[in-house]
Amino acid sequence: MRRTLARIAHEIVEGNPDGAIALVGIHRRGAILARRLHALTGELLEDAVPLGFADISFYRDDLAIRASAPVVHATQLDFQIDGPPARTIVVVDDVLYTGRTVRAAIDEVFDYGRPARVQLAVLVDRGHRELPIRPDYVGKNLPTSQDQRVNVHVKEIDGSDEVTIGPANRPRRAAA
Amino acid sequence: MFSPQRRGAHLLIRSAHVLDPRSGLDERRDILIRDGRIAELGPAGGLPAPGDVELMDGSGKHAFPGFVDPHVHLRTPGQEYKEDIQSGTAAAAAGGFCAVIAMPNTDPVVDDAAILGSLVERARADARVPVGFLASITRGLRGEELTEMAALADLGALGFTDDGKPVRSAGMLRKALAYQRLAGGVISLHEEDPELSGDGAMHEGAVSARLGIAGIPSVSESTMISRDAALAAYENARVHIQHVSAAESVIALEQAKSAGVAVSAEATPHHLTLTEDVVRTLDSRFKMNPPLRREADRRALVDALRRGVIDCVATDHAPHARHEKEVPFEEAAMGTTGLETAFAALYTELVLPGELDLEVVVERMSAGAALYGLPTPRIAPGEPADLALIDLSATVEVGAAGYVSRSENCCFHGRSLHGRVLVTLAGGAVAFREPALVEAELAR
Amino acid sequence: MSIPRHLISIDDLDRAGIERILDRAESFAEVSGREIKKVPALRGRTVVNLFYEASTRTSSSFELAAKRLSADVVSIRSVGSSVDKGESLKDTVQTLSAYDPAALVIRSPHAGAAQLIVAWTSAAVINAGDGKHEHPTQALLDVFTLRRRLGALDGTNIWIVGDVLHSRVARSNILALSRMGATVTVCGPPTLIPRDIEALGCESTSTLDRLAEADVVYALRMQQERMRESFVPSLREYAVRYQIDVSHLRSGQLLMHPGPVNRGVELSAAAIDSPQALIGEQVKAGVVVRMAVLYELLAGTPVMAVAA
């Protein structure tokens, strides 16, 4: 995983020659990955890169049909989304699946201001998009079937860094 | 007592378990009724069946002397949307009652001869069981002027009460008690000190503390009982204390009785079986005056009924329309119906668990008659047929099939009670037959 | 299940349920700090406020809470409405079902009103105050305010001072604070402390002598009417015996009040303005706690509810 993230960090910097970026990680594991990317991009750039975290619970499209209200973490977006300076907001998540989570994250970011540009970095793209969302930076493409589940483990939460594929242990949730 | 002239029943009830504590009867018998009178009590299954007599199978059932309710609200005149003489007496018959006494807090109040006269006419036309009437003590229940008690008594009023309200003024009550020596009749008293009860809607205690609802303390009732018993003693009067609800009131009654005051008392099935805990649900079926009180009060009432300190059971049957009860508790009308469920509630909640003997309940359910100078129902040869045939083992789910009463505000709604009334004879005529029984009869 | 369908009484929530709502309120505190203080969580849902009692504070708090969750809000105040013209509570509630509300927030001068209407609507019912019985969202915002200041409330000693007899805020708070592990003592004139109040799980006293034992002093509003009804001979006598002044408060003690305050009656002006008073924080807590209640009750239920 370390090498993959390092490559992504390089790609982000290459994709934004002026270095005017900000990283926004989607809770929970996207936030962890964003923090790591923040350190990696920091090594490559001179100016400080703002880091933020978004909890998308209040922006989900499935609140009305879930069995219960989702667990909520804290959103922290302490920098100016609009700028100045005008920045590319790079949204970071662990797994890209239907695209609904990213849609919610983009809506939330827009509630804070009008970004100049938004890009998407994900560790794993497992296909089965339900919305017209595409990643700009991908760690690995992992074709899966819908009865499978992709688990990203990170040291900070799960004790190890690894990606596993297993059977879906419950009906597919509407957002991933 | 007033009711339409009806043909006396011709009936042979076979093998019913007859329980009449006053006659000392507690065994299976055949009961032959002719022309509305008990002609003969024979050995179970032993009496020959005359051809012109209806045959009824009483095996497995109990026959009790008809119940008498000295405290019902028939809401006539003026409030017939809640109940009227016909529907109220039909409800009484469905509960095994052979006679009821109606309270005068109607609209207009029964405070003059003309109103009482027209009520008597209506009872003669519509009543399913004989009805007696009380007139009010004061005009319009205002507590300011005495009614023409003598004239009302001449027209048949069995006594006087301002029930619904207390007689606030000791001076006014004293005059009424003195006047009783001329007019006769019983003076029945709703005991409550409005200065203490205020706008209370339930018992003042742990539950009212929890609910934030103003409470009516027990002393509101007991202090007035003591006051009125003292006045009755002073004027050598005969008083009856209505719907006793508190342990303190039982003590006041005992003191009055042992001092020789001519005082009698009644308690309702709901006060004998329910406590303030049911009010936690804020279901307005449990809102009545006096309110349901603590378990200690309930037990004191049961004990007093057993010992005769409380002389009889009275339902205080108080029908109210749905829109008067389907409002927040504090706004709801006070009262519960009780005629259809009285015996079953007492049997299920007191006799079956062993708190009270069946004989005591049966006796107290008709003891109200004598208190008002009415003949006590008896199951004995020569007596008018006033009896109830009840299946103690059958259960009724209260309210499941609706109510005979026009109103549905029954505090026992939804409960499963033992003791299904099958047939009621009142004044010698069949006043009630259980619907399923009718179908079975037709099928035969 | 920690979160019930309706919020009628604090009894509807166990400790886990209370904590969950408070945690959610923290999330909404963050939202309220943004420039756009809105999230789309309840978009397309309708919240109806049915207020039979005058109240600007609670009603505007609920309105704002619903709007910040992007819900549509309909507020009905009894004055000037069909309610005033004698329409029964049942008819009003059943008529409101035409709006297919997701939530019905009701404030009534009568105990049990919220409980009663549950049977007449398919909406989630929230009790915004029913007579002198309960005011669960007030208790929740009070616990939220205290938790922010003190952390866990286990072992905290809280005194509720004043007219407990007529206070739904007191009843809900006694239950909520006890459930969160605090010890509660009520204090006031004997005529204004309900008989058997200890059955709710608190102690009672009629003097301020041991007030120093308290970590938190919660003062209740003392109304003019109580004097007219002879519960106290005069507000002056009440103030002499029970008014909380700065001199009563030792350092470290916190002071709370549900508002609006009668300056000079239950609290001195100095006490209200002292840094130990949390009154302003309580007011701010109102919107975020009510957002949390609406969110927790409504998120995760079907949008088109089947009629009850």
pLDDT of residue B59: 94
Å from A114 to nearest chain C CA? 12
Residue A172 lies in a domain: no
CATH number of C136-283, picked from 3.30.565.10, 3.40.50.1370, 3.90.1200.10, 3.90.650.10: 3.40.50.1370
**Mean pLDDT over residues A140-151, rounded?**
90
Residue A128 lies in a domain: yes
Quick check: A55 contacting C, CB < 8 Å?
yes
Residue with tokens 């009417």, as numbered in its chain: C225
Nearest CB partner across the interface for C295, out of A69, A75, A107: A69
pLDDT of residue A65: 73
Residues of chain C found within 8 Å of residue B212, distances taken between Cβ atoms: 111, 131-134, 166-168, 171
pLDDT of residue C302: 45
* pLDDT band at residue A168 under the 50/70/90 scheme: confident
Å from C142 to nearest chain B CA? 20
State the catalytic residue, choosing from B20, B30, B162, B316: B316
What pLDDT digit, counting tens, does each position of C241-256 carry? 999 999 989 999 999 9
Distance between CA atoms of residues C239 and C226, nearest Å: 13
Taking alpha carbons only, the member of B255, B264, B355 closest to residue B310 is B264
Identify from C39, C288, C303, C304 which residue to disrupt to test chain A contact, counting A C-beta atoms within 10 A and taking the largest count: C39
What pLDDT digit, counting tens, does each position of C167-221 carry? 999 999 999 999 999 999 999 999 999 999 999 999 999 999 999 999 999 999 9
What pLDDT digit, counting tens, does each position of B107-125 carry? 999 999 999 999 999 999 9
**Mean pLDDT over residues B153-159, rounded?**
96
pLDDT of residue A170: 58
Residues in C lying within 8 Å of B, measured between beta carbons: 88-90, 108, 110-113, 115-116, 130-134, 166-168, 171, 194-197, 199-200
Residue A67 lies in a domain: yes
Asked whether the beta carbons of C75 and C107 are under 8 A apart, the reply is no
Å from C286 to nearest chain A CA? 19
Q: What's the whole-number average pLDDT of chain B?
A: 96
pLDDT of residue A175: 43
**Mean pLDDT over residues A92-104, rounded?**
94
Residues 6+ apart with CB under 8 A from C130: B328, C106, C107, C108, C110, C111, C112, C113, C114, C115, C168
Distance between CA atoms of residues C61 and B205, nearest Å: 34
Residue A175 lies in a domain: no
Contact C110 B208 (CB under 8 A): no
pLDDT of residue B443: 59
HEC letters along B199-259: CCCEECCHHHHHHCCCEECCHHHHHHHHHHHHHHHHCCCEEEECCCCCHHHHHHHHHHHHC
Task: Give CA B150 to chain center in angstroms.
Answer: 25
- Indicate if the alpha-carbon torsion angle B121, B122, B125, B130 is positive or negative: negative
Contact C111 B329 (CB under 8 A): yes
Taking alpha carbons only, the member of A4, A87, A91 closest to residue A48 is A87
**Mean pLDDT over residues A138-148, rounded?**
91
pLDDT over 70 (residue B439): no
* pLDDT band at residue C223 under the 50/70/90 scheme: confident
**Mean pLDDT over residues A123-136, rounded?**
94
Taking alpha carbons only, the member of B250, B317, B263, B280 closest to residue B92 is B317
pLDDT of residue C306: 36
**Mean pLDDT over residues A150-172, rounded?**
84
Residues of chain B found within 8 Å of residue C197, distances taken between Cβ atoms: 209
pLDDT of residue A74: 83
Å from C111 to nearest chain B CA? 7
CA angle B339, B345, B347 (to 5 degrees): 120
* pLDDT band at residue B440 under the 50/70/90 scheme: low
Nearest CB partner across the interface for B330, out of C90, C131, C171: C131
More confident residue, B195 or C230: B195
Distance between CA atoms of residues C219 and C244, nearest Å: 8
Å from B326 to nearest chain C CA? 8
pTM metric for this prediction: 0.89
What's the CATH number where A32 sits?
A: 3.40.50.2020
Nearest CB partner across the interface for C300, out of A67, A75, A112: A67
Contact C195 B213 (CB under 8 A): no
* pLDDT band at residue A176 under the 50/70/90 scheme: very low
Distance between CA atoms of residues B363 and B22, nearest Å: 7
Distance between CA atoms of residues B29 and B19, nearest Å: 10
Order the strands of the C183-187 sheet from edge to edge: C203-205, C183-187, C157-161, C216-219, C254-256
Domain span holding position A104: 2-167
Distance between CA atoms of residues A19 and A46, nearest Å: 8
* pLDDT band at residue B415 under the 50/70/90 scheme: very high
Residue with tokens 């933020």, as numbered in its chain: A52
What pLDDT digit, counting tens, does each position of C133-144 carry? 999 999 999 999
- What fold is seen in the domain C10-135+286-298? Rossmann fold (3.40.50)
Number of domains forming the structure of chain A: 1
Residues 6+ apart with CB under 8 A from B368: B68, B69, B70, B71, B101, B266, B311, B312, B313, B314
Structure-block tokens of residue B274: 């329910």
HEC letters along chain A: CHHHHHHHHHHHHHHCCCCCEEEEEECCHHHHHHHHHHHHHHHHCCCCCCEEEECCHHHCCCCCCCCCCCCCCCCECCCCCCCCCCCEEEEEEEEECCCHHHHHHHHHHHHHCCCCEEEEEEEEECCCCCCCCCCCEEEEECCCCCCEEEEEECHHHHCCCEEEEEECCCCCCCCC
- What fold is seen in the domain B66-371? TIM Barrel (3.20.20)
Distance between CA atoms of residues B377 and B363, nearest Å: 10
Residues 6+ apart with CB under 8 A from C239: C264, C265, C266
pLDDT over 90 (residue C159): yes
pLDDT of residue B383: 96
Q: ipTM score here?
A: 0.90
Contact C200 B327 (CB under 8 A): no
Distance between CA atoms of residues B107 and A32, nearest Å: 79
Asked whether the beta carbons of B100 and B68 are under 8 A apart, the reply is yes
* pLDDT band at residue A169 under the 50/70/90 scheme: low
**Mean pLDDT over residues C31-46, rounded?**
89
Taking alpha carbons only, the member of B61, B120, B126, B124 closest to residue B96 is B61
**Mean pLDDT over residues B275-295, rounded?**
98
What pLDDT digit, counting tens, does each position of B359-386 carry? 999 999 999 999 999 999 999 999 999 9
Distance between CA atoms of residues B217 and B207, nearest Å: 12
Going from N- to C-terminal start, the domains of chain C cover 10-135+286-298, 136-283
Distance between CA atoms of residues C222 and C200, nearest Å: 22
Residue A176 lies in a domain: no
Contact A111 C302 (CB under 8 A): no
B11-63+382-443: in CATH 3.40.50.2300: no
The residues facing C108 across adjacent strands are C130
What pLDDT digit, counting tens, does each position of B236-253 carry? 999 999 999 999 999 999
Nearest CB partner across the interface for C194, out of B209, B282, B326: B209
> Please, do chains A and B touch (3+ CB pairs < 8 Å)?
no
pLDDT of residue A46: 86
pLDDT over 50 (residue C292): yes
pLDDT of residue A60: 86
| Same fold? C10-135+286-298, C136-283 | yes
Our answer to whether residue B386 is catalytic in this structure is: no
Phi-psi region of C252 (alpha: psi -120 to 50; beta: other; left: phi over 0): left
